[in-house]
Chains A and B, each alone.
Chain A
Amino acid sequence: TQLLEQSPQFLSIQEGENLTVYCNSSSVFSSLQWYRQEPGEGPVLLVTVVTGGEVKKLKRLTFQFGDARKDSSLHITAAQPGDTGLYLCAGMSDKLIFGTGTRLQVFP
């Protein structure tokens, strides 16, 4: 069974702080996606990374795919309350395998 472990599981920070969320696996994935989910809603895709070592930026969010395509990180600069939510990584093999999730709370 392929597993994607995310860390930390919970994160509470003040507005303006920086943070990094990690997504790790022992399996190789052809691509990796990051989703954000708000309470009462389904996950929404933020980004897809395909190439080992790839870095993508989405405003204050920076996503990196590990060289070996087994891990990924999400870095948020100057977090804002609107960043609050559940962040899920998902690795693509023959199916999409979701990570365990990181719940982020950003306080004003």
Chain B
Amino acid sequence: DAGITQSPRHKVTETGTPVTLRCHQTENHRYMYWYRQDPGHGLRLIHYSYGVKDTDKGEVSDGYSVSRSKTEDFLLTLESATSSQTSVYFCAISPLGSPSTDTQYFGPGTRLTVL
């Protein structure tokens, strides 16, 4: 298994509170990604990183920010959580990023509920 951990694994919070999810890898891969998974939508890319302090927006980035101060850690922050952000969040890593045959390795996910 690829060395990816996510914390916390489950979180319940209230609308308007800030939330930070952590993704930690031991593979030294350059690329890291945050996705959210909702029924009927598959996985949708929120933000991704292509190096330390290098990040870019994905398909559904509104309401989310990210930071990557070290190769191994990629943080996803919800500045003011809303009920529409209730979802399962997955972190993924990949060594190459763009090439057509690259593989993304996924973490176990974080289930977030915003009441």
Structural contact, B98 and A94, CB atoms closer than 8 A: yes
A44 within 8 A of B: yes
Structural contact, A30 and B100, CB atoms closer than 8 A: yes
Give the B interface residue count (CB, 8 A). 24
Query: Which residues of chain B in 85-115 are interfacial with respect to chain A, using CB atoms and an 8 Å cutoff?
Result: 90, 92, 98, 100-109
B62 within 8 A of A: no
* Closest-CB distance, A85 to chain B (whole angstroms): 14
* Closest-CB distance, A92 to chain B (whole angstroms): 5
- Interchain Cβ contacts within 8 Å, total number: 52
B70 within 8 A of A: no
* Closest-CB distance, B61 to chain A (whole angstroms): 12
Which B residues fall within an 8 A CB radius of A? 4, 35, 40-45, 48, 58-59, 90, 92, 98, 100-109
In the assembled complex, 28 residue pairs joining A and B whose CB atoms fall closer than 8 Å, in A order, are A1-B59, A4-B42, A9-B40, A31-B101, A33-B103, A40-B109, A41-B108, A41-B109, A42-B90, A42-B92, A42-B106, A42-B109, A43-B43, A43-B90, A45-B103, A45-B105, A48-B101, A48-B103, A88-B42, A90-B43, A94-B98, A95-B45, A95-B48, A96-B45, A98-B44, A99-B42, A100-B40, A101-B42
